[in-house]
């Protein structure tokens, strides 16, 4: 970036900066042993895992709305040439006043490429190996919704 090397996560967050469903990178600092990212923190928000844990099963309409938002955000991020590769309930913030979802944690993300991904990212149970399988993450989020509806 401007002739300076930055962590991949910073470069990817800058690439999706205009996507409103992604948490904004406000600043970052280069330390001798690490980088510090300063990210937006929406007021009155909680991650989707805690939201479901605290409130119990989601209504069908809420689950449908959340899933629609997840699919839309995944497509918007993909349109920017980025694949998140770790979509899950812990990486989705729910803004409690509006029920709007926001995507966080691009530590496992990558630039989109139309070929097989050979390097591993994310948790052991998640691995994106092709363009068609990028939706695996969306369906794993759907599984959390379905499970929450059944309990």
Report, as residue numbers or ranges, the catalytic residues. Answer: 86
The rounded distance, in Å, linking the Cα atoms of 54 and 132 is 34
User: Comparing C-alpha atoms, which of 133, 151, 49, 138 is closest to residue 91?
Assistant: 49
> With contact defined as beta carbons under 8 Å apart, do 85 and 126 qualify?
yes
Q: Could you identify the residue written with the tokens 């590769």?
A: 85
Q: What DSSP element (H or E) covers 132?
A: none
Six token digits for residue 88: 């899950």
């Amino acid at each position: 970036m401007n002739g300076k090397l930055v962590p991949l996560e910073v470069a990817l967050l800058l690439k999706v900066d205009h996507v409103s469903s992604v948490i904004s990178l406000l600043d970052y600092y280069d330390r001798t042993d690490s980088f510090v990212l300063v990210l937006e923190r929406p007021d009155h928000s909680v991650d989707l895992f805690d939201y479901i844990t605290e409130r119990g099963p989601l209504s069908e309409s809420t689950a449908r709305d959340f899933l629609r938002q997840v699919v839309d955000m995944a497509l918007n991020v993909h349109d920017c040439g980025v694949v998140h590769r770790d979509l899950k309930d812990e990486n989705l913030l729910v803004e409690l006043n509006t029920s709007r979802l926001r995507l966080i944690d691009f530590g496992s993300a990558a630039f989109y490429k139309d070929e097989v991904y050979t390097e591993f990212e994310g948790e052991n149970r998640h691995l994106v190996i092709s363009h068609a399988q990028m939706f695996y993450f969306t369906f794993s989020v759907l599984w959390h919704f379905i499970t929450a509806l059944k309990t």
